[in-house]
Amino acid sequence: MDTNSVGLVKEQQFTFASAEDPMKLESGHTLGPIDIVYETYGEPNEDKSNAILILHALSGDAHVAGYHHPNDKRTGWWDVMVGPGKGFDTSKYWVICSNIIGGCKGTTGPGSINPQTGKHYCQDFPIITVGDMVEAQKKLMDHLGISKLYSLAGGSMGGFQVIEWILRFPEMTRSAICIASCARLSAQSLAFNAVGRKAITMDPGWNDGCYYGTPGPIQGLAIARMIGHITYLSDLSLDSRFGRKLQSADRFSYDFTTEFAIESYLQYQGQRFTERFDANSYLYLTKAMDYFDIARSYGSLDKAFAAVKAKCLFMSYNSDWLFTSEQSREIVQALKRNKKDVSFIEINSPYGHDAFLTEYEQPKRIIVPFLDSVGKKKI
């Protein structure tokens, strides 16, 4: 076990809203009661002013670091960055991560039981937005007695939530770290999401979303993940790792079986994803990403960031073609025009969008001094 790991951790649950007093969503629909699963690492100081909220990406969850069981083979999804002496140093900070609404790792989502019917929500679950995710997280922060967050951090869709947080609750956020993200999806990203959803809904096992208790749309979800996974990697990383290598032969088979190593790899990633994720959640969360558009919501980027109080750090990767450095710069320039405290760093990496999950040495060297500087800034 990693000596710098947070060690064994337990999921916790918070419930808010009710059928009589539900949460109102941006769509106009309501939802309640709502369960939120979360984990914490490190200890709060006396006034809980050392709290850092980590916000996960599309396929993430509340388990950001450590182990649930002594014999776990895998740690939390960002264990390389969260723990004693790591980027988010749990000997200094009280780190919190919650599963988003609409997800499938304990927080209320389409696979949860609808208390009004006693059955799974399925497609009766209302459409949710990134703003709804953040409003639910705010309820959790209130429950934990946190009046001001030391920092927020998240990559990809987690970065969407970071941005939404500093816009919705400017007085509550001292600093923010947004990694490999953007203010809205490009048309190309919308297209990839649309194809992924179509793969799921065209699978005969989808059954209009009412597939619980059956195998479900396994093939459709696997294909959606294969499509998505391609966008997370760079051409350079794929070519250096797989190239045109054949999987298990030295000549072509002249049929349609899996031959190339990259084919086998994508099939493995797709199959593994179906073992841990819910197809309905994939539909709802990608739709929430599609709807995220700061300029549309606030009138313009300049108007959106006018009220921001947080000291901000934006990080991008030069090989990320899903959420490009130019998209991060667009936000940074809007913050600068508003004379906000913002820094931007583009990291050289061959690993594409997924670099923020796999690389830690460069991000740590950037994040540690940034967080230190927040403590020196007058509130």
| Positions marked active-site | 156, 320, 353
- 96-133 burial, b at 16+ Cβ within 10 Å, e below that, comes to bbbbbbbbbbbbbbbbbeeeeeeebbbeebbbbbbbbb
Question: Residue 344: enclosing H or E segment and its boundaries?
Answer: strand 342-347
d(CA 229, CA 225): 6
CA dist 6 → 65, 81, 85 (Å): 7, 11, 10
- How many CA atoms are closer than 13 Å to the CA of 148, on its beta-carbon side? 12
Going by their DSSP bridges, the two strands 12-16 and 34-41 should be labelled as antiparallel
The conformation of residue 25, written as its DSSP 8-state character, comes to: P
- The residue ranges of DSSP E strands in 129-283, in sequence order, are 151-155, 175-179
The conformation of residue 92, written as its DSSP 8-state character, comes to: T
Which residues fall within 8 angstroms of residue 333, CB to CB, at 6 or more apart?
none
How crowded is residue 164: how many other Cβ atoms within 10 Å of its Cβ? 23
Amino acid code (one letter) for 193? N
